[in-house]
Structure 1
Amino acid sequence: MSFWVYFLLLAFGSAFGSFLNVVSLRFNPDEGGLLKDIYGRSHCPHCGRTLRWYELIPLVSFFIQLGKCRSCSAKLTLQYPIVELLSGAIFVLVPYNLLPAHPLLPAPYFFIFTWILVLLALLLMSIIDFHHRIIPDSINVFIAVIGLIFIVYKYFSGFQVKEISGGSFLGSYSLLFPFGGQFPLHHLIGLVFGFLFLGTLFVISGGRGMGFGDVKLAAALGLFMGWPDVGLALLLAFITGAILSLVLIFLRRKTIKDYVPFGPFIALGATLVFFFGHQILYLYFQFFDTLLPF
């Protein structure tokens, strides 16, 4: 695709990120419902002034206003540009990743669309989990439904014949795992693995290390991504979560007893597998080949 197509995708994705900001910032866990309070004009969270259209241009308005409200000069949260930028990046990088790397996809634009939806859902989930320490069931259900549609489409499009690895982002490495690449069985195994693996940890920890929403999220992602992709995603979630927690403890921003939301790390693990799954396992096996040449 041309530069201008990617530029338009970035602009549209950033605008969608602005919508995600509205949904996440107006979400009330006590009332439930992600879209319940999204109606009404946007306003400054400090002085309450209704914002004009030129104050709502994704990315641009925040930096022109130097991150402050034009009326009361109160500082605005960095969440606005960060989420808009991440959403724009999703719209750009998903097609960039899928189109050249998977020429055998029967309908690449369908795969692009579904992965954009899932990554946007994970972005929204991460914001809400970070602020409220809760993962809405509606997001988990949404990912699971997308997973079911994904599987049905792949089945009737003859995808299992065209792609020996079953569409795994681990490529041929997926065949090293039991049932890896066996479409559609590996999707069902992914669901069961995600639920049982995190479910067991949830029971053992008594819910202190993670919530049951994390368990449901792992199951939904397992259905969508399949096995062994979801296994690597969860492993990366634990690794990145542990690294960040140790850094925060070292900087005295957190103590070992403080709660750190796990949902964003699951989202990060899934994203890393989507973009770098094959490369991660390649480097892993290269490392051990060098360490143990025999």
Structure 2
Amino acid sequence: MSFLDQNPGLGYPAAAGLGLLLGSFLNVVILRLPRRLEWQWKRDSLEVLGEPEVYDPPPPGIVVERSHCPHCKHQLAWWENIPVLSWLALRGRCRSCHAPISLQYPLVELLTMALVVCCVWRFGFGWQGFGAIVLTCFLIALAGIDLRTQLLPDQLTLPLLWLGLIASIDALYLPAKPALVGAIIGYLSLWSVWWVFKQITGKEGMGHGDFKLLAALGAWVGLQGIVPTILLSSLVGAIVGSIWLAAKGRDRATPIPFGPYLAVAGWVVFFWGDWMVDAYLRFSGLR
């Protein structure tokens, strides 16, 4: 890893290539994981209710099954599965049925590439850089799934929480105590808002996945990163959400996924939280 740090001309292109490959895999996670979960939930419900089992073939898995066109089921050849380049070569359409291929594929791949390069630029090519890449990939997957389905699966939020706590054992980013306290306060802060809102209105203002995502972020940014994450996500969510509602002609009762805003804010605070807090204290005259 020190070799890559000393030779950025090799390290950054390698990181960019890795980011494209990870982005391709994250597209699979974003599209297939919710379908797999829904299929499993249906099977579990039938078992709990004692209903007869209905033949329902499982949707494609995340790792084993090859990629295919969702319209005509055409299995993609290797050259049709190259990140970004294949989408451009095929002009955004399936080679078999000519159905349009979602722009999500190249966008997620390019976004992942850019953020992975940013990870190694900020933290280097060692364990800190690797951990930052892991966090980034989890947040991209969670944001993408929440945007599409308004779900934040435990299968992603809970491992992200544990990985943050495990990283704190060796103080990779922060010591264990601030990480643990950050996770606890992260969960309780949004849970308390949800509980108060429910007592007053009788409605649930947010999903439980938001609590778990902020708890996971708290394990990575610590207690001092919780408040900036909440404030930044709320600000971005209010602005972007209002614009989206106006553009779609929806009223304020329309549910809006909060996970993507938490993911963006948590990523920014993880990278530059110390600088943000220091700049605020200097600007306010408290330092």
TM-score (norm 2): 0.81
After superposition, the Cα gap between the structure-2 partners of 1:32 and 1:282, relative to the gap in structure 1 and judged at 3 Å, is farther
After superposition, the Cα gap between the structure-2 partners of 1:45 and 1:195, relative to the gap in structure 1 and judged at 3 Å, is same
Q: Give the structure 2 partner of residue 77 of structure 1.
A: 102
CA distance in 2, matches of 1:214, 1:277: 20
CA distance in 1, matches of 2:253, 2:235: 18
Q: Give the structure 1 partner of residue 54 of structure 2.
A: none
Q: Give the structure 1 partner of residue 112 of structure 2.
A: 87
Instruction: State the 1:279 CA deviation.
Output: 4.0
> Is the aligned partner of 1:140 residue 2:164?
no
TM-score (norm 1): 0.80
Unaligned runs of 5+ in 2: 42-58
Q: Give the structure 2 partner of residue 186 of structure 1.
A: 178
CA distance in 2, matches of 1:47, 1:283: 54
Q: Give the structure 2 partner of residue 31 of structure 1.
A: 39
Equivalent residue in structure 2 for 1:152, among 155, 159, 169: 169
- How many residue pairs get aligned? The number is 256
CA distance in 1, matches of 2:19, 2:106: 12
Equivalent residue in structure 1 for 2:194, among 190, 199, 202: 202
Letter in structure 1 aligned against 2:95: R
Instruction: State the 1:235 CA deviation.
Output: 1.6
> Is the aligned partner of 1:125 residue 2:124?
no
Letter in structure 1 aligned against 2:61: D
SS at match of 2:223: coil
Letter in structure 2 aligned against 1:12: L
CA RMSD of aligned residues (A): 2.3
Instruction: State the 1:253 CA deviation.
Output: 4.6
Residues 1-294 of structure 1: pairs in structure 2 closer than 5 A: 1=5, 2-27=8-33, 28=35, 29-32=37-40, 37-38=61-62, 39-99=64-124, 109-154=126-171, 167=173, 183-206=175-198, 208-285=204-281, 287-288=283-284
SS at match of 2:257: coil
Unaligned runs of 5+ in 1: 100-107, 160-166, 169-182
SS at match of 1:31: helix
Q: Identity over aligned residues, as a percent?
A: 33
After superposition, the Cα gap between the structure-2 partners of 1:286 and 1:197, relative to the gap in structure 1 and judged at 3 Å, is same
Moved over 6 A (4+): none
Instruction: State the 1:150 CA deviation.
Output: 0.7
Q: Could you say which structure has the higher helix fraction?
A: 2
SS at match of 1:135: coil
